């Protein structure tokens, strides 16, 4: 990891990605294995026997979990009186301050949050948290205060408060903090701070996890249960570890017309491990297609194309490892069941907190695991149907909005 070697390591890794895109996976794996000792994101994938070790994944298929996932018991989800809470909070005003994607995506975090809140009976108004710095930022602060004064929201949901957009800019950070402290005190507003990628925060800036809790915001919402024991008792009580509402456009194609597995995703800094899995899986001859997507620009899949792709393949794989070595829960672990697909998940305790292994998905850790698991699952239609049906029913019950808002509002207004 000598500083002078890192740019060369990154250049070699990107060259390996070029070879993947060109279809030469032998060259890609040679480069990736060569650079792994000095390239931390690549080393994190190969560590602990990716190419040779076997994990006892079969036990998760033959003796699946019978205890509910930790999320259900930790927050007493089944005891939430959802009908009563809908009636109690009907008409409450919700101000959502978020990053607008400005793409053709219509089912992002903010879009799904808005639809679920409206179904729950809330009145929703949105502001874009990403504005130009300088005078435009000053105008945003004034607009935000006017909106709060006129609207008198009961709740403000702020996506990445103090981490992105205007609230993260040094010139405006203190203004946002003062404004939130004022409206909490003056109007009794409850504020939710949402972390989409809290694993990154814990790696690079852990001091920010609860910074200004109680002054600027009341509740932290994230989906990384591996850190649910971090903090004081009061800080842990101020956490709702739950994914934001999951929703997709309905698929328009039949399930399973392609008897293969797929990995669908973009190659971004946090997703560097996907390059290794792509190269090694194809070199090993697994019946698997890697479909590279792009979050922005003309090559981004439409919502319908994305869902139909998950629907067409008999198996869909999610990769939980990030470049820091952390394993996380991904939104695709909800999208695949909602699309009616069968989820194979790179083992993550985070996913295990939200879904039942062996019931809602099958897990693996290494390339030999996957090489055995894929053909076994492809050959067993009854098992695939059983997993797909159980996962779809579970996600539709617990993760499409009502439980999220019932749990959130119960913590904000006990």
pLDDT at res. 67: 80
CB 221 within 8 A of CB 408: yes
How confident is the model at residue 271, as a pLDDT? 87
Cα–Cα distance measured from residue 132 to residue 143, given in angstroms and rounded to the nearest whole number? 14
Model pLDDT, residue 237? 96
Q: Is the confidence at residue 299, as pLDDT, over 70? A: no
Q: How high is the pLDDT of residue 405? A: 98
If one compares 241 and 59, the residue with the highest pLDDT of the two is 241
The 3-state DSSP class for residue 63 equals coil
Band of pLDDT at residue 2, cut at 50, 70 and 90 = low
Q: How high is the mean pLDDT of the chain?
A: 92
Q: Are 256 and 310 in contact (CB under 8 A)?
A: no
Rounded mean pLDDT of 82-103?
91
> What's the pLDDT score for residue 4?
75
Higher pLDDT, 56 or 8: 8
Per-residue pLDDT at 48 exceeds 90: no
**pLDDT in the model for residue 293:** 87
Give the DSSP per-residue string, 94-106.
Answer: EEEEE----SS--
What is this structure's pTM? 0.93
**Residue 361 reports pLDDT greater than 60:** yes
Q: Which H, E and C letters describe 245-258, residue by residue?
A: CCCCCCCCCCCCCE
**Rounded distance between C-alpha atoms, residue 231 and residue 104, angstroms:** 39
Decide if pLDDT at 346 tops 80.
yes
pLDDT in tens, 379-411: 999 999 999 999 999 999 999 999 999 999 999
CB under 8 Å to 180, separation ≥6 — which residues? 156, 191, 215, 216, 217
Contact 361/387 with Cβ under 8 angstroms?
yes
pLDDT reported for residue 66? 72
The model's confidence at residue 57, banded by pLDDT at 50, 70 and 90, is low
The pLDDT of residue 311 is 96
Q: Please tell me whether residue 320 adopts helix, strand or coil conformation.
A: coil
Please provide residue 191's backbone torsions phi and psi, each rounded to the nearest 5 degrees.
Answer: -120, 130
Strand partners, 284: none
pLDDT at 56: 74
């Amino acid at each position: 990891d000598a500083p002078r070697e890192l740019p060369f390591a990154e250049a070699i890794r990107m060259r390996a990605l070029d070879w993947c895109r060109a279809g030469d996976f032998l060259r890609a794996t040679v480069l990736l294995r060569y650079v792994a000792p000095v390239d931390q994101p690549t080393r994190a994938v190969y560590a602990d026997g990716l190419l040779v070790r076997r994990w006892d994944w079969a036990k998760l298929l033959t003796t699946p979990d019978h205890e509910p996932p930790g999320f259900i018991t930790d927050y007493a989800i089944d005891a939430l009186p959802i009908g009563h809470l809908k009636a109690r909070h009907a008409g409450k005003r919700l101000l959502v301050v978020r990053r607008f994607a400005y793409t053709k995506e219509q089912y992002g975090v903010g879009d799904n949050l808005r639809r679920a809140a409206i179904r729950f009976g809330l009145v929703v108004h949105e502001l874009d948290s990403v504005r130009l710095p300088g005078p435009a930022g000053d105008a945003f602060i004034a607009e935000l205060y006017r909106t709060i004064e006129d609207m008198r929201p009961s709740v403000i949901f702020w996506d990445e408060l103090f981490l992105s957009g205007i609230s993260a800019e040094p010139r405006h950070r203190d203004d946002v903090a003062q404004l939130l402290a004022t409206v909490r005190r003056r109007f009794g507003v409850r504020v939710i701070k949402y972390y989409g990628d809290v694993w990154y925060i814990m790696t690079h800036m852990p001091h920010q996890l609860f910074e200004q809790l109680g002054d600027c915001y009341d509740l932290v919402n994230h989906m990384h249960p591996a850190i649910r024991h971090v903090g004081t008792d009061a800080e842990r009580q101020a956490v709702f570890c739950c994914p934001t509402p999951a929703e997709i456009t309905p698929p328009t194609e039949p399930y399973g017309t392609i008897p293969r597995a797929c990995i669908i995703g973009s190659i971004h800094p946090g997703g560097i491990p996907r390059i290794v899995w792509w190269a090694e899986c194809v070199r090993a001859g697994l019946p698997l297609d890697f479909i590279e997507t792009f979050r922005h620009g003309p090559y981004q899949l439409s919502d319908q194309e994305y869902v139909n792709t998950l629907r067409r393949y008999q198996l869909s794989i999610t990769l939980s490892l990030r470049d820091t070595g952390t394993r996380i829960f991904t939104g695709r672990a909800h999208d695949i069941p909602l699309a009616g697909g069968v989820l194979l998940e790179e083992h993550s305790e985070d996913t295990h907190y939200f879904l039942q292994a062996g019931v809602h998905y099958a897990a693996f850790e290494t390339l030999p695991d996957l090489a055995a698991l894929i053909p076994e699952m492809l050959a067993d239609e009854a098992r695939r149907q059983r997993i797909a049906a159980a996962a779809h029913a579970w996600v539709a019950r617990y993760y499409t909005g009502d439980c999220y808002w019932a749990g959130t509002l119960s913590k904000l207004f006990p």
